[in-house]
Amino acid sequence: MVEPTPPRAGILRASTIDDLRAALTAALDVPSGLDDAARVESITALEDLVRVATAAQAALARELDASQRAVQAGGGSAAARRGRGVAAQVGLARKESPHRGQRHLGLAKVVTAEMPSLWAAWRSGKVTEYAVTLAVRETACLEVDDRREIDRLLAADSEALDRMSDRDVASFCRRHAARLDAASVVRRQRQARSDRRVTIRPAPDAMVYLTALLPVEEGVAAYAALVKAADGARADGADARGKGQVMADTLVSNVLGGHEATSGPRIELGLVMSDQVVFGESDEPAHVDGFGWVPAELGREVLAGALDAGDEVWLRRLYASPVTGELVAMDSRARTCPRGLARLIRLRDQVCRTPWCGAPIRHDDHATPVAEGGETTGRNGQGLCESCNHAKQAPGWDAGPAADGAVETTTPTGHRHRSRPPTLVMIHRGPPIRLDYVLAT
């Protein structure tokens, strides 16, 4: 078994890394002076450096977790609550979401403890962080001894591992996992069926990705049915649409056509635009809740289309600051956010306010807790995902509104992070801008 060796003291100090970054940045200001062969070799060397750097981040994340757990234990935290908030700190440090921070921290702990050969390969730049992630994922259902056996097989030929793609590593681990413990793999696959779901995320040019995670037989059958429908529609050459277009149209028509989801209670589409945009006096972009910015013309088309179709359209007046363009919140004496204030906070913040998170808002949070004198106001309110809201309740975390309207959060290590809600309208001189929140089917 290959035991990981600790890095030399001082090598991973931030100041040392800053010096290396400064040297690389300065080198980019002038031509390299290399021939093509040397350029290729340098690209390879830099790629190896990137891989080693991600391994160094993993080592530091593991150390941070152990240290923070010790601090929390010393502070009297129950064993089950120790480690709370550490993943969020890792995510902030990497300028990523807390979810990615959790994934990175879990990876660092598992690979160093249970797959030492793969850890050694990662530290030497032979594999990418993503390949290590796939290896850990594909062996997650195994006992430690079986996982270490796969780790040994991976390291049996170091040159072969160096030539493996990320997909090759995943396939290798999946094959041997099925060989070593087929029953565990089957149980995992059956359990995975409970994770079936449909998700949506923005795509370029006012489009979205609608994704379904399904059991393999259902997913393959659904795709085959769409292909068959597309081939049939285009068989006589009369349909000018492409195959992908017919498949997409067939999916939408079958889901929406007469379904109770569209014929029942009203479906709300939050479209935020200024009154000048509505009446064609301005072409500032509009904002679709849950998606993002769209051109003003498209916003007007959505509104006009709903009106032409006879759909029920509700207008809700909102107000934006003439200085910052942020939506102005309502105040309340209630401990929990009233429905109107909660809706305004979610419209204002759009996604979780934690820097780099971007997850959907699940909790209407008091930045300064009510127990500490925090008020139920738009200024003290922020939209957070469930994970971030729980993280800030861990020992050593502190948050509150700043004078400029931002929320400032301090982590247990003393690092401060500020967040502001996005600007939903363009700034212009004059009185406060009235916005119309259009709810349309």
CA-closest candidate to residue 359, choices 349, 368, 344, 369:
349
Q: Are 324 and 423 in contact (CB under 8 A)?
A: yes
Specify the pLDDT at position 439.
Answer: 43
pLDDT score recorded for residue 440 = 40
Instruction: Identify whether the C-beta of residue 395 lies closer than 8 Å to the C-beta of residue 75.
Output: yes
Question: pLDDT, tens digit, for every residue of 232-284?
Answer: 887 777 788 888 899 999 998 888 875 544 444 444 566 777 777 777 778 77
Looking at residue 380, what DSSP letter applies? Answer: T
pLDDT for 174: 86
Angle between helices 98-114 and 116-123 (to 10 degrees): 120
Residue 425's pLDDT is 56
| Segments of the chain with pLDDT less than 50 | 1-5, 7-8, 260-267, 329-335, 427-441
Contact (CB, 8 A) for 439 and 266: yes
Looking at residue 132, its pLDDT comes to 95
Kindly state the tokens that stand for 38.
């040397």
pLDDT of residue 309: 61
Residue with tokens 């601090």: 71
Q: Which two tokens stand for residue 44?
A: 């390879």
Using CA atoms, how far apart are residues 392 and 20, in angstroms rounded to an integer? 33
Of the candidates 99, 3, 119, 102, the one whose C-alpha atom is nearest the C-alpha of residue 55 is: 119
Question: What is the value of pTM for the model shown?
Answer: 0.67
Residues 287, 291, 292, 296: is their CA dihedral positive or negative? negative
Domain extent listing, the chain? 14-188, 197-263, 270-324+430-440, 339-419
Paired strand residues for 199: 211
In Å, the largest CA–CA distance within the chain is 75
Q: End-to-end CA distance of the chain: give it in Å, rounded.
A: 61
Task: Report the alpha-carbon angle 281-286-291, nearest 5.
Answer: 170
Enumerate residues 6+ apart whose C-beta is below 8 A from 83.
65, 68, 69, 72
Q: Which of 198, 191, 225, 226 is nearest to 214 (CA)?
A: 198
Q: Identify the pLDDT of residue 12.
A: 73
CA distance 377 to 16: 44
C-alpha to C-alpha distance for 377 and 338, rounded to whole angstroms: 10
Q: What is the dihedral of CA 341, 346, 352, 353, to 10 degrees?
A: -60
pLDDT at 263: 45
Q: Where are the beta strands (DSSP E) in 311-401?
A: 313-320, 363-366, 381-384, 398-401
Q: What angle do CA 354, 359, 365 make, to 5 degrees?
A: 55
The tens digit of pLDDT for each residue in 383-410 reads 888 888 888 888 888 888 887 778 888 8
The structure tokens listed for 394 are 């861990």
How far apart CA 118 and CA 156 sit, in angstroms, is 11
Contacts of 196 (CB under 8 A, 6+ apart): 212, 213, 214, 215
Residue type, 222: A
pLDDT of amino acid 224: 84
- CA atoms of 3 and 155, how far apart (whole Å): 13
CB 397 within 8 A of CB 391: yes
Dihedral angle over CA of 164, 167, 169, 173, nearest 10: -150
Give the span between the Cα atoms of 384 and 424, in whole angstroms: 18
Give every CB contact of residue 39 below 8 A, 6+ residues apart in sequence. Answer: 32
